Amino acid sequence: MTRIDQTFARLRAEGRKAFVSYIMAGDPDTATSLAVMKGLPGAGVDIIELGMPFTDPMADGPTIQLAGQRALDAGQTLEKTLAMAAEFRKGDDRTPLVMMGYYNPIYSRGVDRFLTDAKAAGIDGLIVVDLPPEEDDELCIPAQKAGLNFIRLATPTTDDARLPKVLQNTSGFVYYVSITGITGAAAPEAADVAPEVARIKAATDLPVIVGFGITTPEAAEAIAGIADGCVVGSAIVKDIGEGRPVAEVLARVAALAEGAHRG
């Protein structure tokens, strides 16, 4: 079992939902993002998604696009992102780490080298938004052989004909994108999301986590209440982008986590 599998087993036993947070590695600089990262578990985060900055983040809205650009401008690289994970692991061997981003930086590094380095750094899973199931031989299957979960996105446009293909080599959890569009867009309504979550859960035993557009503790509670948990990214990244102190960012995260755990 990966740390992700262990975390969901523990949460089920405790009767709690998962709170997943996203930050962009290296935003606004490596030291600050590492400080936020180290504080996330204490703020109630169950799984950390660590963004890999990339020059052409097609699925991301302005908030995360700007975060990636800030990180790149500050000199963040895939090497430094892996080093951040390794540094985090020195003090936390429990919290799952999921690297999220696009295939280009992984391809440029070389898949075999990347997977070896990611495993050594303590990475537990990958979300690579621009690799469809038709390309599973490229990264998904090698990642799973290396002991990493490969987490797939399902969306409102993933119909019943497409869903089995999306799920076939997915592990860890399914990330349901609650709205059509980019990150940080309109807030999802639990009543609209619930039937879609139920449809996915009928097709898989994996946990279903819902993200995109969740910005308040109340929204986190509502969405977590109809799924196995929720993801918050843009709301946290926005606070970091505004230059708020680390302690203030983590206080916002704690409020969101509390809402999700009530779900």
- Per-residue pLDDT, 60: 83
User: What CATH number is associated with residue 204?
Assistant: 3.20.20.70
Cα 19 from Cα 258, distance rounded (Å):
9
User: Of 5, 27, 60, 136, which residue is the catalytic one?
Assistant: 60
Q: Residue 213: its pLDDT value, please?
A: 85
How many residues make up the chain in this entry? 263
| Residues 102-115: tens digit of each pLDDT | 999 999 999 999 99
Contact 148, 119 (CB under 8 A): yes
Instruction: Please give the model's pTM, rounded to 2 decimal places.
Output: 0.96
Dihedral sign for Cα 221, 222, 224, 230, please. negative
Q: What is the pLDDT of residues 164-178, one digit of tens each?
A: 999 999 999 999 998
| Backbone phi, psi, residue 49, to 5° | -100, 125
Active-site residue flag, 49: yes
Residue of 173, 261, 161 whose CA lies nearest to 221: 261
First to last CA, the chain: 26
pLDDT at res. 61: 84
And the tokens for 172?
């860890």
How many domains does the chain contain in total? 1
Q: Is 248 a catalytic residue?
A: no
pLDDT, position 244: 97
Confidence (pLDDT) at 129: 92
Please tell me the predicted confidence (pLDDT) of residue 86: 98
**Considering only CA atoms, which of 182, 191, 195, 232 is closest in space to residue 211?**
232
Give the pLDDT score at 183: 52
pLDDT of residue 58: 82
- Alpha helix (H) ranges present in the chain? 3-14, 30-39, 62-73, 78-89, 103-109, 111-121, 140-145, 163-167, 190-201, 217-224, 234-241, 246-262
For residue 169, the enclosing domain spans 3-262
**Packing angle of the helix pair 78-89, 111-121 (nearest 10 deg):** 30
Of the listed 46, 49, 117, 136, which one is catalytic? 49
Q: What was the pLDDT predicted at 134?
A: 95
Task: Give me the pLDDT at residue 207, please.
Answer: 98
Task: Please list the ranges in the chain whose pLDDT falls under 70.
Answer: 180-188
